[in-house]
Amino acid sequence: MTDWKTTFESLPDEELDALAVLRIIETSNGIIQFMYRDKDKDALSVEDTRKAMGFSMSSIKRMQIVLEDGTIDFADDTKEIMGRVRDLYLKGMKNGDDVAYEKFLDASHACLLACGLPRLIEARKRLYNQCYALPPESYDWGLSYCLNFMTTPR
C-alpha cells in the first residue's frame, strides 16, 4: 500500500509547483464538464467544453503543460507517481472499482495537501495569466474545488 502523503511530500518544490498547476487544470476542467452535463445556466458552449477537456487530457496524458510563458515538463519520478494515480482513477471511475476509487481520492487528497494553499493560489494566478485554453473564471472554480476537497477529512 502506497503512503501517498510521504510520496507527494518527498517531491521537490519544482515538481509540487508543476503538480499544483496540473491539479488546477484538472479540477477546472472537471467543473466545466459537470456544468455542461448538468445543463447549468453558466455552462460553456459545447466547443469550449471540448476544448477544455482536450487541453486537460493532453496535459495529463503527456505530463506536459503548454503555457504562454513556457512549457512545464514533469520529472520522470513524478510521471511515474501520477501514472499510478491515473490508473487508480481509471479503475475506479471507468471500471467501477470502489476500492481503487477510494485509493485515488486518498492520493488526490495527499497531492493537494503536499502542494498546499499558497502553491495552488499561485498556480491559479499563473494559469489565469498564461493559459487561454480554458476561460479565466474556470480557474477560480478549480481552486475552489481543491480547497473544499482539501478540507474534507479522508
pLDDT tens digits, 6-55: 999 999 999 999 999 999 999 999 999 999 999 999 999 999 999 999 99
pLDDT above 90 as % of the chain: 97
Give residue 70's region: left, alpha or beta (phi > 0; psi -120 to 50). left
Give the number of domains in the chain. Answer: 1
Question: Reduced to 3 states, what is the DSSP secondary structure of residue 95?
Answer: coil
Provide the domain limits for residue 87.
4-150
Angstrom distance (rounded) from CA 97 to CA 102:
9
Predicted pLDDT at 96: 96
Is the pLDDT at 76 greater than 90, yes or no?
Answer: yes
The answer for residues whose C-beta is within 8 angstroms of residue 59's C-beta and 6 or more apart is: 22, 25, 65, 66
Mean per-residue pLDDT for 139-152?
96
Look-up of cell digits 499563473: 126
pTM: 0.96
Angstrom distance (rounded) from CA 78 to CA 91:
20
